[in-house]
Amino acid sequence: MELLLAFAVGFVLGGQGGSRDRHDVVDSFGTIRDSEEVAAVMMVARSHVGRALRDVADMVDSSSGEAASTPDLVDRVRQLVQR
């Protein structure tokens, strides 16, 4: 989050100061976005999110018929948390 804030501030200040062309800033951001490091971070993040979603799905599937009897998802989650 701090990196995005720093990028935004640098983008605005660089554009106002005239010392750096906005095109160069956008190209630099694209280079960073397309780097192998960012791709690796995104792959790990997707893996963690996928695992968390599978765990939630397993929790809902293994719940008793009591929680599955209500069609409202919020009520089902409340019932699962109360256990």
pTM, 2 dp: 0.47
Work out the end-to-end distance of the chain between its first and last CA atoms, rounded to an integer number of angstroms: 35
The pLDDT of 56-76, averaged and rounded, is 67
pLDDT digits (tens, 9 = 90+) for 9-55: 777 776 555 555 677 777 888 898 899 999 999 999 999 998 888 88
Structure tokens at 83: 């256990």
pLDDT: which is higher, 79 or 1: 79
Distance (Å) of CA 32 to CA 2, 22, 23, 42: 15, 15, 14, 13
- CB-CB contact of 61 with 54 (8 Å): no
pLDDT at 67: 47
pLDDT at 42: 93
